[in-house]
């Protein structure tokens, strides 16, 4: 029997999000916490949010860029669940008072037209299942003090999921060379970072192949109609009240938001 209180930790992290209060990482007092237990806590956290009346709208992949994987010294990306309350419209407002210490990153996202299930998913299955491609910005807001976490901690914390600013232009995937698309992240009209679709495991469909396999291990699947974020292409940058933040992706267009109190 492990002494890890899965439900207690899920409540602890959910309370941290609701109270906008950063907490110490779980592995500080529980260094034996495993990745599997991290996902168990995440699953319990999802249950709490479902009971609170929120709906899962998709998933996000995280740590899919070489830079982030090297920094974290890991070989495998992680995933988290996205909820309806996290979605922000293009050119909308991001309310700072609802968050702890948010950072923004540019990502390519997909709206799925078909379910994707099982361990044997291949690139072509993902391509076939994508209905639309769109530019998004993810707001990561780790509930841990100073984003200080180990892998099982961040997984338990729903992989830092906080908000998603959805692009308003939906592009069909056919004919797009997604890995070659240039991406810029600007704050107050100044380009702060850039990259290309290849930053995420070489091609944005690769994280989705991986997500399908990882979900299958827990008896879950990617659902038709869901939104899937393929992972930060740019660095995650801190933002402050008054900032106007935008991401432009070749072929896919622009998405922006304003940070308010």
* Chain residues in the site for ligand OOG (CB under 6 A): 60, 62-64, 68, 105, 138, 140, 142, 147, 154, 159-160, 231-232
Shortest distance, CB of residue 62 to ligand OOG, whole angstroms? 3
Q: How far is the CB of 220 from ligand OOG (least distance, A)?
A: 19
Residue 138 binds Mg ion, judged by CB under 5 A: yes
Distance CA 158, CA 139 (A): 13
Compare residues 53 and 73 and give the one whose CB is closer to ligand OOG: 73
Partner whose footprint covers residue 246, from ligand OOG, Mg ion, none (CB < 5 to 8 Å by kind) = none
- The smaller minimum CB distance to ligand OOG, of residues 211 and 224, is found at 211
Q: How far is the CB of 60 from Mg ion (least distance, A)?
A: 6
Q: How far is the CB of 250 from ligand OOG (least distance, A)?
A: 20
Query: Of these partners, Mg ion, ligand OOG, none, which one is at the site of residue 142 (CB under 5 to 8 Å by kind)?
Result: ligand OOG
Q: Which tokens in the block code for residue 45?
A: 């956290």
Residue with tokens 């396999």: 213
CA distance 222 to 238: 30
Beta strands per DSSP E along 155-252: 161-166, 182-187, 190-196, 227-229, 237-238, 244-249
Measured from the CB atom, the residue of 45 and 63 that comes closer to ligand OOG is: 63
**Tokens linked to 261:** 């109190």
> In angstroms, what is the minimal distance from the CB of 190 to ligand OOG?
22
We find the least distance from the C-beta atom of residue 30 to Mg ion, in angstroms, to be: 25
Are 30 and 2 in contact by the 8 Å Cβ rule? The answer is: no
x/- map, 60-79, Mg ion, by CB under 5 A: --x-----------------
- Contact partner at residue 159 from ligand OOG, Mg ion, none, CB < 5 to 8 Å by partner kind: ligand OOG
Nearest to ligand OOG of 60, 248 (CB atom): 60
Give DSSP secondary structure letters for 77-108: -EEEEEEGGGEE-TTEEEEGGG-SS-EEEEEE
Q: How far is the CB of 80 from Mg ion (least distance, A)?
A: 9
Q: Is 232 in the site for Mg ion (CB under 5 A)?
A: yes
In the bound state with Mg ion, the residue whose beta carbon lies nearer, of 4 and 204, is: 204
**Half-sphere exposure of residue 107: CA atoms within 13 angstroms, side-chain side:** 30
Residue 83 CA to residue 49 CA, distance in Å, equals: 9
C-alpha closest to that of 61 among 46, 45, 76, 40: 76
Residues near Mg ion (CB under 5 A) are 62, 138, 232
């Amino acid at each position: 029997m492990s002494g890890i209180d899965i439900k207690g930790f899920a409540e602890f992290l959910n309370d941290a999000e609701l109270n906008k209060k950063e907490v110490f990482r779980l592995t500080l007092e529980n260094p034996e916490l495993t990745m599997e237990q991290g996902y168990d806590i995440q699953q319990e956290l999802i249950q709490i949010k479902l009971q609170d009346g929120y709906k899962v709208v998709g998933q996000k992949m995280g740590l899919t860029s070489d830079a982030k994987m090297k920094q974290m010294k890991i070989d495998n990306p992680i995933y988290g669940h996205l909820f309806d309350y996290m979605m922000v419209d293009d050119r909308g407002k991001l309310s700072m008072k609802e968050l702890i210490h948010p950072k923004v990153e540019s990502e390519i996202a997909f709206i799925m037209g078909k379910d994707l299930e099982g361990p044997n998913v291949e690139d072509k299955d993902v391509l076939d299942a994508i209905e639309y491609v769109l530019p998004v910005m993810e707001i990561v807001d780790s509930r841990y003090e100073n984003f200080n976490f180990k892998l099982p901690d961040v997984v338990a914390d729903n992989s830092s999921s906080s908000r998603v600013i959805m692009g308003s232009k939906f592009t069909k995937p056919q004919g797009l060379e997604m890995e070659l698309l240039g991406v810029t992240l600007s704050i107050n009209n100044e380009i702060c970072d850039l990259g290309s679709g290849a930053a995420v495991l070489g091609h944005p469909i690769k994280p989705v192949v991986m997500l399908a396999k990882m979900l299958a291990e827990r008896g879950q699947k990617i659902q038709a109609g869901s939104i899937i974020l393929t992972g930060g292409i740019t660095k995650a940058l801190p933002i402050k009240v008054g900032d106007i933040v935008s991401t432009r992706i070749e072929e896919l267009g622009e998405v922006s938001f304003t940070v308010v109190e």
